[in-house]
Amino acid sequence: MPDVQDPWPWYVAGPLIGLLVPALLVFGGKAFGLSANLRHACAALPVPERAKPGFLRYDWRSAGLWNLTFALGIAVGGFLGIRVFSDPSAPLALSASTVEALRGLGVTDLAGFVPAQLISWSALATPAGALMVIGGGFLVGFGARWAGGCTSGHAISGLADLQVPSLVAVVGFFAGGLIVTHLVLPLLLG
Rounded Cα distance, 37 and 40, in Å = 5
Q: Give the Å distances, CA to CA, from 87 to 38, 82, 92, 93, 116.
A: 32, 8, 10, 12, 18
Overall pTM surpassing 0.85 (yes/no): no
Rounded Cα distance, 118 and 181, in Å = 13
Query: What pLDDT is attached to residue 161?
Result: 82
The total of other beta-carbon atoms located within 10 Å of residue 20's CB is: 14
Cβ–Cβ under 8 Å, residues 154 and 32:
no
Question: Is the model's pLDDT at 3 over the cut of 70?
Answer: no
Strands, DSSP E only, in 6-153? none
The total of other beta-carbon atoms located within 10 Å of residue 189's CB is: 16
In tens, the pLDDT along 126-143 reads: 998 888 888 888 888 888
